Amino acid sequence: MVLAECGQYFARTAADSAAYTLTHGAVEAAAPGCYVMDPDIDGRERVRRTMNYQPDALCERMWLFRGHAGRVRS
């Protein structure tokens, strides 16, 4: 009986974990767009946020290539 209850618990936990993983990915992908397209900011602030996002994305790409290849590719 205890083993069956443990199995049910882990089945629910795995299903919750899968749903969380998919939701997390979708929210993470949508966050930059929501940040840049905030309706409460003007055009100048929107441009500033976009320009600040680009160097951050470049740093992330450099980190990614260093982690996989040991150096940044040219």
Segment 56-71 mean pLDDT: 74
Does position 61 have pLDDT exceeding 90, yes or no?
no
Quick check: pTM over 0.85? no
For residues 52 and 62, give the distance between their C-alpha atoms in angstroms, rounded to a whole number: 16
Query: Buried b vs exposed e over 17-51: b needs ≥16 C-beta within 10 Å?
Result: eeeeeeeeeeeeeeeeeeebeeeeeeeeeeeeeee
Which residues are CB-contacts of 32 (< 8 A; sequence separation ≥ 6)? 53
Residue-wise pLDDT for 10-48, tens only, equals 566 666 777 777 888 888 888 888 888 899 999 999 999
Segment 39-62 mean pLDDT: 86
CA distances from 65 to 50, 57, 70 (A): 23, 13, 7
